[in-house]
Amino acid sequence: MHRFANPARFLRIAKPLTPWLLWLGIALTLGACLWGAFFTPTERLMGDTVKIIFVHVPAAWLGMGGWTGIAIASIIQLVWRHPLAGVSARAIAVPGATFAAICLITGSIWGRPTWGTWWVWDGRLTSMLVLFFL
């Protein structure tokens, strides 16, 4: 595993794989979203409104995972001064913020018919908003 810690060797492998893995990830994500939207049964009490949870919950996990990845990469950068740690922390920031924004938007869309309001100053919502601003 340490042989991939060399930035030149890592980038030689990562650059050709990045477009392929990006399109594979987009295809799998769209397939999962379509499956959740059209092929799952409606819930007894909430009806079709609950289907937004199939986007909201993964976006929340990926948003929090992005910021966890930034924290781990930043600690590695500070402690061991590894050059790839700073690159990976910067690369994780945009997807982490995107998924945090998706989480906030879908949560508001789901919260309006469920709770009767677009926003509640709950600890979970406020902490995700703080993560998005960071």
Q: What pLDDT was estimated at residue 83?
A: 80
What residues contact 36, with CB distance under 8 A and at least 6 apart? 51, 54, 55
Angstrom distance (rounded) from CA 88 to CA 53: 29
Measured CA to CA in angstroms, residue 94 lies from 90, 106, 115, 118 at distances of: 8, 18, 30, 25
What's the mean pLDDT when you consider all of the chain?
88
Flag whether pLDDT at 37 surpasses 90: no
Percentages helix, strand, coil for the chain, rounded to the nearest 5?
85, 0, 15
Mean pLDDT across 33-60: 86
Q: What pLDDT was estimated at residue 2?
A: 66
Tens digits of residue pLDDT in 15-35: 999 999 999 999 998 998 888
Tens digits of residue pLDDT in 53-91: 888 999 999 999 999 999 999 999 999 888 888 888 999
What residues contact 34, with CB distance under 8 A and at least 6 apart? none
